Amino acid sequence: MAFYVTLFLLFLGCILCSCSQFPQRQYRYVHLAMNWTSAQNYCREHHTDLATFESADDLQRLKADFSYEWAWLGLRDDPRSWRETLGSDTNSWRWSATNETSRTGYRPWNQGEPNAGGGLEMCVWMRADGKWNDARCLEKSHFICYSVTNQKEHKYHYIELLKTWFSARDFCRERYTDLAMIENNAEHHQVFSVKPAGITAWIGLYREPWTWSDMSQSSFRNWKRTCPNNYLGNQFCVGENRLHEWNDLPCEEKYSFICHQDPKWTTTVVKVKFQTDADMTDPAVNAQILQQLGALLTSQTQAPLSVRWKTEPRKTTDNLTDRSRPGPIVHL
């Protein structure tokens, strides 16, 4: 018995036998000078987004003659997300006890704070006067833990040890609930009253800086030495130089930029003639053959691949019902 089937092969960015690995995103250097936001718009319109990098290999795949000292990439630490509000963006302030931003928005920052001073201040302490300030997480300070009473109230504990924010958090998690979480004036006054006068102490507020324009979770960074530094206090967008070293720069400055283009699906249609005694109208047989075919093609191409088929109306004298029923769809 002879069967004709049409196979629809959907490939990510490559054609059968012409590629040996997973298709990668393409990087495009754009020789126009724009601020970060306009560059982001341009990339989203003409390509996929401002560039995301996930490894040193990704960096090396960009081949370009830089027309400016810096080229924007998709990384930014959006001050709107953390300066004025306790928002829920990826780089907003959040409480270590919940990993979430404040439910009340209560935030007695000291004037001019938070400021990401030196580009490294991602943890918060309460100053001697009770106001909040962002500080370098690796500085050592006294700290305040909290526990929850049977009445579900917060009880605060001043710890006289000097620890980095992270060690202080671990200490509090081990012995109490977590570093102090403060969401209203009453809690603020309790913390202030357990803290000895004149002392600065860590509380549980922190944030993760830098997020990708395409919302990628990539933690890869390639900072130039001494960067980020938030020099002059207004550097919240990232550019790279021709050595692929990253620098934090003022977002309104105009530089060339790097976009990326996600791989596109391509479809390949193949006609295949089967010589078989198996009953091709049997859905189980059909599915099994298609699965084996998909596995074979995937091992050959090493590409993400989706295989479908459709049986052709027969030209032979075979006489089976249901002749043009399409085969099942297999996603690989």
Q: Which residues contact ligand NAG (rule: CB under 6 A)? A: 35, 37-38, 98-99, 251-252, 319, 321
CB of 21 or CB of 99, closer to ligand NAG: 99
**CB 143 to ligand NAG: min, Å:** 18
Token digits of residue 190? 């309790």
**CB 99 to ligand NAG: min, Å:** 4
Q: Do residues 73 and 53 touch, judged by C-beta distance below 8 A?
A: yes
**CB 26 to ligand NAG: min, Å:** 25
**CB 37 to ligand NAG: min, Å:** 5
Concatenate the DSSP letters of all residues of 265-325 into one string: EEEEEEEEEEE-SS-TTSHHHHHHHHHHHHHHHHHHH-S-EEEEEEEPPP-SS---SSTTP
CB of 212 or CB of 309, closer to ligand NAG: 212
CA distances from 265 to 10, 26, 50 (A): 6, 14, 21
CB of 40 or CB of 190, closer to ligand NAG: 40
Q: Do residues 137 and 165 touch, judged by C-beta distance below 8 A?
A: yes
CB of 66 or CB of 166, closer to ligand NAG: 166
**CB 176 to ligand NAG: min, Å:** 14
Report the distance separating Cα 306 and Cα 17, nearest Å.
15
Q: Do residues 30 and 256 touch, judged by C-beta distance below 8 A?
A: yes
Token digits of residue 165? 């924010």
CB of 38 or CB of 90, closer to ligand NAG: 38
Exposure of 193 in the CB half-sphere (CA atoms within 13 A): 8
In this structure, what are the phi and psi dihedrals at residue 109, rounded to the nearest 5 degrees?
-65, 150
CB of 94 or CB of 308, closer to ligand NAG: 94
In this structure, what are the phi and psi dihedrals at residue 83, rounded to the nearest 5 degrees?
-80, -50
Whether the CA torsion 128, 132, 133, 137 is positive or negative: it is positive
The backbone region for 226, taken as left when phi is positive above 0, alpha when psi lies in -120 to 50, beta otherwise, is left
**CB 180 to ligand NAG: min, Å:** 15
**CB 69 to ligand NAG: min, Å:** 18
Token digits of residue 144? 């305040």
CB of 275 or CB of 319, closer to ligand NAG: 319
Q: Which residue of the chain is nearest ligand NAG when measured via CB? A: 252
**CB 35 to ligand NAG: min, Å:** 4
- Give the distance, in angstroms, between the CA of residue 105 and the centroid of all CA atoms in the same chain: 25
CB of 142 or CB of 169, closer to ligand NAG: 169
